[in-house]
Amino acid sequence: MEKFVGIIGAGTMGSGIALAAAQSGCSVSIYDNNETVLATAMERLRSGLVERVSKGRLSQKEYAETLARLKPTTAFRSLGLCDVVVEAIAEKLDVKREVFKAMSDITAEQTLLASNTSALSIGAIAAGCKFPERILGMHFFNPAPVMKLVELVSGINTSDLTLVRAKEFVNGLGKESVVCRDTPAFIVNRIARNFYGESLRIAGEGTATPAEIDAIMREVGKFKMGPFELMDFIGIDVNYTVTQDVYNAYFQEPRFRPHQMQRTLFESGRLGRKSGQGFYDYTGGKASPKIPVGAGQVAAAKAVFEQSEKTFFLNKDAVFARVLAMIINEAMFAVQEDIASEPDIDLAMKLGTNYPAGPIEWGRAIGFEKIHGVLRALHAEFQDERYKAAPLLKIYA
Ligand code: NAI
């Protein structure tokens, strides 16, 4: 277990990762170039720990020990003796590159240097650094002390030893790791795209309303939240930006195409819960509506997989099959492109997004031939390339 941990950036993610490391017994130096932000972060961490003591979740001794392990610093050079440094500063390639270049100059050859980037290429961040084989992506999820998943991103120069040591480190934080190749949106943010994207198309066509789609995905699919309530929760602006970034990073791949409804909401300032309105209206403390789904509707939605060659579009019963088929298809593309292993993809989607099952095990349970049937029918109906089946899905089917 790496004992001396450096964190660069004391924002949401940096302070969360720092806390996770301190709670696991690491000595943590948190660096930020903004003294006020650093002081605020330390105060937030301290009051969070105090609250847990008052709720009986943390002993006074654990509180004192954890706090003593968190050391704020504005001296970049003090990170030079760390075993592992995790960078969590703003998502800007030129700034991250500068920080990694400086880190690679002041640390020993074997120091693990990790970026928490959610979208930038590790290879690009590591360009020009000394010993780029010890540089990798360590993508924690928000809130970092709570979320169990870390995506370890292997850049073009990252060594196997670096991945092994990184896995040991995140396991020591009580987390589970998956390994993925350095590709846009990694595993979770890529495969989750069509939970939103296909749902938006269904709503946009007028087949079902957002409230109906949410209810179906919760009741039939057993997802904790429906796609529209989740977009409202995440923020329409955040979700729309990620969608555009992934779409552009994959050179306008139709599977990732954003939807007009996202742009309309974004441009009109309806950003979801935080602005009071998004797909739903939250003004005056209102919650997103919950529509009842009867047992008959659940059975009809599941039966769609059995009759996928028939035209069932513009039909509410097809909502679940369409969204799930798109998620499973994306997982098959990711396996085929060697982005990650099948077990890692399933684990990542269960831990990173709370999916009730991994997409590949879900496909296996339903039958890949049925998933392929849904995609074939969608492709025939809409003549849209976004519905083309992954070659590997066809093989599995
Ligand atoms: P944030 O804006 O809350 O924090 C960034 C911090 O970095 C700020 O405190 C800022 O003062 C500091 N900073 C900026 N430039 C710096 C520099 N050159 N040297 C030292 N400190 C500097 O950002 P957040 O949300 O914590 O994100 C950080 C990284 O984590 C980004 O790469 C983001 O994409 C990634 N990420 C964010 C997630 C989220 O849900 N917020 C989830 C997973 C990854």
CATH number at residue 35: 3.40.50.720
Query: Does 304 lie in the same domain as 249?
Result: yes
Q: Is the pTM of this model over 0.85?
A: yes
74 CB near ligand 1 (under 6 Å): no
State residue 276 phi and psi, 5-degree precision: 95, -20
Query: Does 140 lie in the same domain as 119?
Result: yes
Query: Does 298 lie in the same domain as 259?
Result: yes
Atom of ligand 1 nearest to the CA of 10: 9
10 CB near ligand 1 (under 6 Å): yes
Query: Does 217 lie in the same domain as 170?
Result: no
Q: How confident is the model at residue 250 (pLDDT cuts 50, 70, 90)?
A: very high
Place of tokens 């791949």: 253
Q: Looking at the DSSP assignment, which residues form a beta bridge with residue 30?
A: 7, 72
Query: Does 146 lie in the same domain as 212?
Result: no
Q: How confident is the model at residue 308 (pLDDT cuts 50, 70, 90)?
A: low
133 CB near ligand 1 (under 6 Å): no
Residue 327: which of 306, 352, 358 has the closest Cα? 358
Yes or no: say if 67 and 49 are a contact pair by the CB < 8 Å rule: yes
Query: Does 382 lie in the same domain as 239?
Result: yes
Yes or no: say if 90 and 118 are a contact pair by the CB < 8 Å rule: no
Q: Which of 29, 104, 116, 118 is catalytic?
A: 118
Query: Does 170 lie in the same domain as 39?
Result: yes
Q: Is the pLDDT of residue 359 over 90?
A: yes
Q: How confident is the model at residue 135 (pLDDT cuts 50, 70, 90)?
A: very high
Quote the ligand 1 centre to 372 CA distance (angstroms). Answer: 40
Q: Is 100 helix (H, G, I), strand (E, B) or coil?
A: helix
- The residue segments making up the domain with residue 141 are 4-182
The rounded distance, in Å, linking the Cα atoms of 367 and 397 is 7
> Does the active-site annotation cover 139?
yes
Q: How confident is the model at residue 289 (pLDDT cuts 50, 70, 90)?
A: confident
β-pairing verdict for 27-31 and 70-73: parallel
The Cα diameter of the chain in Å comes to 66
Query: Does 382 lie in the same domain as 312?
Result: yes
Query: Does 199 lie in the same domain as 172?
Result: no
The rounded distance, in Å, linking the Cα atoms of 278 and 231 is 8
8 CB near ligand 1 (under 6 Å): yes
Rounded to 10 deg, the angle between the 342-353 and 319-336 helix axes is 130
Report the mean per-residue pLDDT for the chain.
95
How many structural domains comprise the chain?
Answer: 2
Query: Does 103 lie in the same domain as 143?
Result: yes
Provide the CATH number for the domain around residue 374: 1.10.1040.50
Number of residues in the chain: 397
Examine the fold and report which residue of 182, 197, 232 is the final residue of a domain before the chain moves on. 182
Yes or no: say if 338 and 181 are a contact pair by the CB < 8 Å rule: yes
Examine the fold and report which residue of 182, 212, 230 is the final residue of a domain before the chain moves on. 182
Quote the ligand 1 centre to 268 CA distance (angstroms). Answer: 27
Provide the phi-psi class of 24: left if phi over 0, else alpha when psi is between -120 and 50, else beta: alpha
β-pairing verdict for 27-31 and 4-8: parallel
Examine the fold and report which residue of 182, 204, 235 is the final residue of a domain before the chain moves on. 182
pLDDT tens digits, residue range 30-70? 999 999 999 999 999 999 999 999 999 999 999 999 999 99
Encoded amino acid at 368, one letter: F
Query: Does 261 lie in the same domain as 139?
Result: no
The rounded distance, in Å, linking the Cα atoms of 363 and 63 is 45
